[in-house]
Chain A
Amino acid sequence: MFAQFFGSYLLSKNAVSPEQLTAAITKLADTHIKLGTLAMHKGYMTASEVDEVCFLQTREDKRFGEIALERNYLFEDQLEDLLKSQNPDYLLLGQTLVDSGVISNQELEALMVGYQADNELEGAPSEDANQEETQTLIMNFFEAADEPLSDEALMYMNLIFNNLVRFIGEDFTPLAPVACESYDTNYCVTQCISGPVNLTSGIDMEEDVAIAFASRYAKMEFHVFDEYVKASLEDFLNLHNGLFSVNMSNAYSVEIALDPPMHCDEPTYKMNKGSFVIPVIYPFGTIYLLLAM
């Protein structure tokens, strides 16, 4: 979950614009992590050493590791460690932004340190960071936007981000939640949850984004905005809310009731105070998560 929230961290620090971030996310699939980025992240090399080695690579036909060893910027054992280490997934996004010229290696170095400190990540977080760390990350994400969450809402959001990873793909970046009482819809599907927890959740996106979203969800190639695409949005929401009810039942022994998901055909969706919308950027477009209290 670290790659996803690193993007919103960069936005909150005004290090990148939403357009630059979106462009970098779109490129992610074709990007591979570089040794220099990893070395910087581990604190083995400074940003200027990395820049120097990259520059030397343009003049000498040698690998990054070879040059870094020759210049004593890296020890053998450090190089070995880098080559076999688990890459924290947010590094790739940072590196893509450097490659695109949006930020410098120096800026990335400082942002990585800040991100880790703010989220109390110990050293290099592994990809399968535990649930607790993810919860902290999501809590910080909402607190940074001044939208503190109840325990249930936190569990809800944690699960929806996990379900996006599981059913749609991990290549997304959520933008800060926006408090919202009236939302202009594109194609919007909502579902009411009632019982000990009362809320309406929804997902909204433009039709062409929905086609790509549905193709990923259903693992089928859709080309037109048809009933299968619409059903995919409803299914995703219904599946997510079903899994939420299972979690609520297991964690708090409470049963919540679900209404069938519905298409909202109003151009504007009205929500109560305390409701919010989270834009989530995927390479194929932006989806909007709605949580109405």
Chain B
Amino acid sequence: MGKENVKILVGDDSILARKQLKDTILKYAEGAEFIEASNGQEAVDLYHQEKPDIVFLDIVMPVKDGIAAVKEIIKDDASALIVIVSSVGTQVQLKSAIEAGAKDFIQKPIRPDQIKNVLAVHLK
């Protein structure tokens, strides 16, 4: 999988956070196609519909939080590539994200180099 023309699902209840994440990703994955979800349930539904290459998910979201969304996505697709992007980077949250099946964890505020690394590692 190359870095171009990847399909990326961005799940965050903040329109600003989604824009900032998309802008940052575009610096390293030109031509990426985005699908956006504003809560955990939308992210689960859109994952099934769109089968994105990689998913970025916030934790604190209405309707369904990010960790619960990871569990549901992984239940149906164990190979799903999900990265948590959250300001709540405690050890316990990190552990539950990884146990739920997330592949990586980025602490907000996001730094461009973290996004670059995640894309480089997971989208070889």
Give chain A's interface residues, CB within 8 Å of chain B.
167, 218, 227-228, 231-232, 234-235, 238-239, 241-243, 245-246, 249-250, 255, 258-260
Contact = CB atoms under 8 A, between A and B. Distances in A.
Contacts of A232: 16
Contacts, number: 51
Contact of B15 (A167, A227, A259, A260): A227
26 contacts: A228-B15, A231-B15, A231-B16, A232-B16, A235-B14, A238-B14, A238-B60, A239-B87, A241-B87, A242-B87, A242-B89, A242-B108, A243-B87, A245-B90, A246-B87, A246-B89, A246-B90, A250-B90, A255-B90, A258-B60, A258-B88, A259-B60, A260-B13, A260-B60, A260-B61, A260-B62
Interface in B17-72: 17, 19-20, 60-62
A238 B61 CA distance: 11
A239 to B, nearest CB: 5
Contact of A242 (B13, B15, B16, B60): B60
Interface string B4-15: 000000000111
Given A228-B15, A239-B87, A249 B92 contact: yes
Contacts of B90: 245-246, 249-250, 255
B91 interface: yes
Given A242-B108, A259-B60, A260-B61, A234 B14 contact: yes
A228 B17 CA distance: 9
Nearest to A249: B90
Q: Report, as a range, how many residues of chain B touch the other chain.
A: 20 to 34
Contact of A235 (B16, B61, B93): B16
A235 B92 contact: no
Given A242-B88, A246-B87, A258-B60, 12 more contacts: A228-B19, A231-B16, A231-B17, A238-B14, A238-B87, A242-B60, A242-B89, A245-B90, A246-B88, A249-B90, A258-B88, A260-B62
A249 B90 CA distance: 6
A241 to B, nearest CB: 7
